[in-house]
Amino acid sequence: MKSKAVLIREAGANLPYAKSKPLEIVEIDLAPPKAGEVLVKIESAGICHSDLSVVNGSRLRPLPIILGHESSGVVIELGQDVHDFKVGDHFTTVFLPSCQNCYECKSGIPANCSVGAKANASGQMISGGSRISIEGDSVNHYNGISCYSQYAVIDERSLVKLPSDIPFDIAALFGCALLTGIGAVRNSAHAKEGQSLGIWGLGGVGLSALLGAVISKAAPIIVIDPVESKRKLALSLGADIALDPKDNLRNTLAEGVSVAIEAAGRADTLIAAYESTARGGTTVSVGLPKAEEMFSISALSLVADLKTIKGSYLGSANPRIDIPEFVKFWRDGKLPVEKLLTSTSSMLQVNEAMDALDGAQVVRQVIHPHK
Ligand SMILES: [Zn+2]
Ligand SMILES: [Zn+2]
């Protein structure tokens, strides 16, 4: 079937993207879903930093590619052997499919699925190949999702079913921002009640980490971001102290924080987070720095101060267990996801939305492919 979608042919265009227009609205052909795959109608899609990283060239993905990995919508057609979905089901997308069969998946860490990671890196579906073409030429999938599109063919292992009463703009955020941020706090850092916790970078993931820290009753919660409006938002969402990156956290909390979450995706911020981590504490890196960035710390401090540094991808989560729990938090009023939504716009405004994210003044924007 035909679908309008957002294509990128070349990375690294000049800013502003509203002028250079690296993202084109094109008409794609979608092949029918194969075994285990479904055809979906996308209703809402988030503008995430990982998409921007492909546009600006800091994260290499095979091009041309249809972008988008954070979305919600409705299943409209089933391929063969689809077990968990029926037509009409609502879903949120998860940007790493888990094969449920590799060593990592069988160890209970689907967020580390090696088969899914390989498929994502090659721009293919987890069961191989592409379902997207333009005039007969194959186009790559972004993380098996490619949801900046009116319709998409997605493997059911990339979807989590959601109740149909959750607004699509809220549902879209469950699979990336919330899973990554809350998962970093709960699954990677195992933050406990009364533990001091710092969060560097207040984008969609950093603020989601804050919501996770509030749910975990960490205290005090210290957030660090250069943008004043984001610091204010964080304070209204439950942060105890908000600092500018120029301030040294140890002037506020001399011993440092027990848990430090780096969500800015920068090596210098990761160093700041590590240096602000208390003795015996854990630094969790959740942002995606540029591939060439290195980070250097005192090797002695790692040992003598008994520190731990951890990477957290997809919130070290099991999406089909974690996301239904988030839905419950949201229903109970503990997860004010709507506060993370900065704006909604038409898919036609995708270049402008990338400019706004690059300018760091927004938290989460969503686009609507059918408007
Ligand atoms: Zn994302
Ligand atoms: Zn796997």
298 and 155 within one domain: no
Residues with beta carbon < 5 A to ion ligand 1?
A: 48, 50, 70, 176
> Is-contact 69 313, C-beta < 8 A?
no
> Is-contact 27 149, C-beta < 8 A?
no
Taking only the tens place, the pLDDT of each residue in 257-285 is 999 999 999 999 999 999 999 999 999 99
9 and 145 within one domain: yes
71 and 22 within one domain: yes
81 C-alpha to ligand 2 centroid (Å)? 19
Would 323 be classed as within a structural domain? no
Of 13, 103, 86, 5, which Cα lies nearest the Cα of 56?
A: 13
Taking only the tens place, the pLDDT of each residue in 332-343 is 999 999 999 999
82 C-alpha to ligand 1 centroid (Å)? 25
280 and 142 within one domain: no
Q: What per-residue confidence (pLDDT) applies to 228? A: 96
Return the percentage of the chain with pLDDT > 70, whole number.
100
Q: What per-residue confidence (pLDDT) applies to 291? A: 85
363 C-alpha to ligand 1 centroid (Å)? 12
208 and 98 within one domain: no
97 C-alpha to ligand 1 centroid (Å)? 14
186 and 171 within one domain: no
The domain total for the chain is 2
Would 57 be classed as within a structural domain? yes
Q: What per-residue confidence (pLDDT) applies to 360? A: 86
Q: What per-residue confidence (pLDDT) applies to 290? A: 86
Tell me which residues of the chain have a pLDDT lower than 70.
none
Which residues 6+ apart lie within 8 Å of 345 measured at CB?
A: 352, 353, 365, 366, 367, 368
What CA–CA distance (Å, rounded) separates 127 from 32? 14
198 and 126 within one domain: no
Looking at residue 111, its amino acid is: A
**CATH, residue 69:** 3.90.180.10
Would 330 be classed as within a structural domain? no
96 C-alpha to ligand 2 centroid (Å)? 10
Q: Measured at the alpha carbon of residue 87, what is the angle toward residues 82 and 91, in degrees to the nearest 5? A: 80
Q: How far apart are the first and last CA of the chain?
A: 19
Q: For the whole model, what pTM was predicted?
A: 0.94
Q: What per-residue confidence (pLDDT) applies to 203? A: 93
168 and 41 within one domain: yes
Would 331 be classed as within a structural domain? no
Would 109 be classed as within a structural domain? yes
241 and 141 within one domain: no
159 C-alpha to ligand 2 centroid (Å)? 15
* Sign of CA pseudo-dihedral 279, 285, 290, 291: positive
178 C-alpha to ligand 1 centroid (Å)? 9
**CATH, residue 272:** 3.40.50.720
Q: Show the domain range for 288.
A: 179-313
179 C-alpha to ligand 1 centroid (Å)? 9
143 C-alpha to ligand 1 centroid (Å)? 10
338 C-alpha to ligand 1 centroid (Å)? 17
Please report the DSSP string for 36-51 in residue order.
TEEEEEEEEEEE-HHH
Would 325 be classed as within a structural domain? no
Q: What per-residue confidence (pLDDT) applies to 108? A: 85
Q: What per-residue confidence (pLDDT) applies to 349? A: 97
Find the ligand nearest to 112 CA: 2
356 and 217 within one domain: no
33 and 150 within one domain: yes
344 and 221 within one domain: no
97 C-alpha to ligand 2 centroid (Å)? 8
